[in-house]
Structure 1
Amino acid sequence: MARNQRIAYISDVGAFGLKPLFITGAVITTVFLDLAFVSERWLRHFGRLAPNTSRVQSALSAISIFFAIAGTCGLILLSIFDTYHHSRVHNGCLFIFLAGYIISAIFLCAEYQRLGIHYRQHRVLRLSFWIKLAFIFVEVALAIVFAVTSWRDQEDVAAIFEWIVALIFTFYVLSFLLDLWPSVRSRHHVPQGWQEREAQLEKEAQRNGGLPPLDQGPAPITSEPNQGTYQNQEGELYYDRVTGQYRGTNMTAGQGAHHQAANSTHRPDHSDLGRQKKSGIGRTRF
């Protein structure tokens, strides 16, 4: 600490006896935060969260991850190059850390703004958007005050604002629990993306005119070409609302005998339909 300084910076505390803890905490915090970014992207891509509706949204998410990784590098490096032995390098890494995560939050906020417009029924998207937007404005304002007071050698004031910036960043990290929670599956909760998938199938069913609502039982087999085939008992055909395919075995007689199961997406080669059983001896056919 400086001679005129009574309040220690976080970097002052982490520059001496607690430096191993400082480095370990920086690595654990940022690595798991980056995993939260990647998990959010992965869960949207595979349908556990409400999926992106455009390539722009996917690009915004990817750019956000890139700048988050840059911020991670800044925080880990500033914990290694401490303020006592490497003052200039430490301050440069501090700038990379703050700039990286603020820019990352800007792109993530833009993605959530577009998601909230498309999925108005999910209030959690709008809530997450406002939390990240507030983080951007507050952290930028506090970072400016910290930089100005530090430049004017107002050490105690700058140290106080550094602790406040770190505390608010902690709440930003915890906000990702709000983003990932809708993907959890439990007895009383269906993942957000699965809800959207069911709603999509219901819309397709209504457009086709013959598919039963997804929350009702199977409909009887019908021979109408636009009505589909539904059964659900022991080898009979049924409609899988998760995969959007028909499953089961062929009906050998009666109404709907012309329908074929969709356990496999393979279709018969119609060019072989004209070939009849040929005569021969044993396995030899002529």
Structure 2
Amino acid sequence: MVRINVHNHYHKLPIIASVAWYVTLLVLLIVWLASGRPKYPSQDGSIAYISDVGASYMKPFFIVGTCITAVSFVLTLASERLLQHAHRLLPTQRRSETILSYCSIAGSIIAGAGLILLSIFDTKRYTSLHRVFLLVFMLGVILSALFTVVEFRLLSHTYASYNKLRRSYIAKGIIAAILICLGVAFGILLFGDSEALIDAGAILEWVIGFGFTAYLLVFFYDLRLAAPRHQKSQALKNMEAGQWRV
């Protein structure tokens, strides 16, 4: 059973990010389907890409959704670092762990900026810029995920008997690996010259988009454990008392 500290509101950040992103994609998909699956001016195949729907009259909604998602994603990682520094989550013990934590935040900033900019510079009016910012977003997410997974793997070695850390980095690693593999396939299909490949790329983009929601939600698992303000995490108290199994 998940226990949530009522004094900790940081766990709401990944929920806000994931819900904002999921709702944005779901509304765009419903709008396209409910409209009779129209072919937008920027669309090449028979299946619309997320950006095709987002470049239509839904653009203001798309921009708002991406802004909320991007800001919440960055704040999620920044909050995790802040809570570690305050010992409200298990703190980093090695310099490498701290550096990886800051690098993951930097990656999220890159991803967030790319996400916002790709929604502003839509694929209909700014095709080349849109693709550049799409690449920036994907690279930012990949870098952030890699740094986060490595950081949590090192932390799981530092706090070897704290099983929740191991479960956390394994979950992040599995989801990130799947999304990266799908992202590589999407990048290849994005430059396809047949309608079948273009449509496959569109389907894959929707799958990756909804899959990103799962990655955001994993951080809820971490942040829900933060101790109240000015208190150490229970795991750290147990460790200092010699009770390692948590």
Q: Which TM-score applies when normalising by structure 2?
A: 0.76
Deviation at 1:149, TM superposition (A): 1.7
Does the 8 Å contact 1:182/1:192 carry over to 2? no
The one-letter code matched in structure 2 to 1:36 is T
> Which protein shows a greater Rg?
1
Report the secondary structure of 2:190's partner residue.
helix
Of structures 1 and 2, the one scoring higher in RCO (CA 8 A, sep 6+) is 2
- Counterpart for residue 31 of structure 2: none
Are 2:148 and 1:105 aligned?
no
How far the C-alpha of 1:120 sits from its partner, in A, is: 2.3
Contact 1:47 1:194 in 2 (8 A): no
Q: Quick one: distance in 2 between partners of 1:199 and 1:3?
A: 56
CA distance in 1: counterparts of 2:49 and 2:227, whole angstroms: 39
Report sequence identity in percent: 37
Q: Report what 1:142 is aligned to.
A: 182
Q: Residues 192 and 161 from structure 1, CA distance in 2 versus in 1: closer, same or farther, beyond 3 angstroms?
A: farther
8 Å CA contact 1:51, 1:193 repeated in 2 = no
User: Is 1:94 aligned to residue 137 of structure 2?
Assistant: no
Aligned twin of 2:121: 81
Match of 2:55 in 1: 15
1:26-84, Cα deviation, whole Å (9 max, x unpaired) = 00011011111011000110011111111111111001101110111100000000000
Q: Deviations over 1:223-280 (max 9, x none)?
A: xxxxxxxxxxxxxxxxxxxxxxxxxxxxxxxxxxxxxxxxxxxxxxxxxxxxxxxxxx
Change (3 A) 1:199 1:138: closer
Distance of 1:3 and 1:67 partners within structure 2: 30
Q: Determine if the alignment matches structure 1 residue 163 to structure 2 residue 203.
A: no
8 Å contact kept, 2:122–2:130: yes
**Structure-to-structure mapping, 1:204-223, within 5 angstroms:** none
4+ residue runs over 6 A deviation: none
- The 5-angstrom pairing of residues 124-203 of structure 1 reads 124-153=164-193, 154-184=197-227, 193-197=233-237, 199-200=239-240, 202=241
**Is the contact between residue 70 and residue 100 of structure 1 (CA under 8 Å) also seen in structure 2?**
yes
| TM-score normalised by structure 1 residue count | 0.65
1:126 to 1:172, Cα distance in 2 relative to 1, 3 A: same
Q: 2:103 aligns with which of 52, 63, 75?
A: 63
Contact 2:88 2:233 in 1 (8 A): yes
Tell me by how many angstroms 1:184 deviates. Answer: 4.7
CA distance in 2, matches of 1:51, 1:76: 31
Paired letter, 1:46: A
Partner of 1:72: 112
Question: Is the 1:116–1:126 Cα contact (8 Å) retained in structure 2?
Answer: yes
Counterpart of 2:155 (choices 107, 110, 115) is 115
Which structure shows the higher helix fraction?
2
CA distance in 2, matches of 1:19, 1:45: 39
Go from structure 1 to structure 2 and tell me whether the alpha carbon gap of 1:193 and 1:167 turns closer, same or farther (over 3 Å shift). Answer: same
Cα offsets for 1:178-199 (capped at 9, x unmatched)? 11011155xxxxx872441354
Q: RMSD of the TM alignment (CA)?
A: 1.7
Structure-2 change in CA distance of 1:25 and 1:4 (3 Å): closer
Provide structure 2 residue ranges, at least 5 long, that are not aligned to the other structure.
1-39
Amino acid at match of 1:159: A
CA distance in 1, matches of 2:54, 2:44: 19
* CA-CA distance at 1:3 after TM superposition: 7.1
